[in-house]
Amino acid sequence: MTVFYDIVLSSLGWVRVSSSTRPPPAEVIWRLPGSRWPQFVLNEPVNGQPATAANGSQVSFLCTSRPLVDRAWLAAIAAGATDEGKPGIRHAYAPDFYAAYCLDPEGHKLCFVHTGG
């Protein structure tokens, strides 16, 4: 999964800032250069149980432009994600809510979104 997120998050300008010495996905962190937050972390479950995709949840990444939404979604699809909604306006949420959705290779739902202007 680290390779998938290296590809997708680099399209948003995020960089991997740490990696554990344990085998992936022990702990890997990405964030924007020069920022502490927000961050995205892959980690082994602390309860020792197998990791599972959360049904009914999603991770959303705020993008600074519509083209960035497009680029992130295309990067995710090219890296093995499943299409859950091509980039476009989602009027049900707001007249300026431009988003794209996918499932990562393990089934976690991702949203890339831009609002305003």
Domain map (residue ranges) of the chain:
2-47+57-114
Q: Rounded to two decimals, what is the model's pTM?
A: 0.88
Given a cut of 60, is residue 105 above it in pLDDT? yes
Long-range contacts formed by 88-93: CB under 8 A, 24+ apart: none
List Cα–Cα distances, 96 to 3, 108, 113, in angstroms: 32, 25, 10
pLDDT of residue 112: 98
Q: Tokens at residue 54, please?
A: 């959360």
**Average pLDDT of the segment spanning 103-109:** 95
Query: Number of helices and strands (H, E) in the chain?
Result: 2, 7
Local confidence band at 56 (pLDDT 50, 70, 90 cut-offs): confident
| Homologous superfamily assigned to 2-47+57-114 | 2,3-Dihydroxybiphenyl 1,2-Dioxygenase, domain 1 (3.10.180.10)
What does the pLDDT average to over 43-63? 88
In this predicted model, which residue has the larger pLDDT, 42 or 90?
A: 90
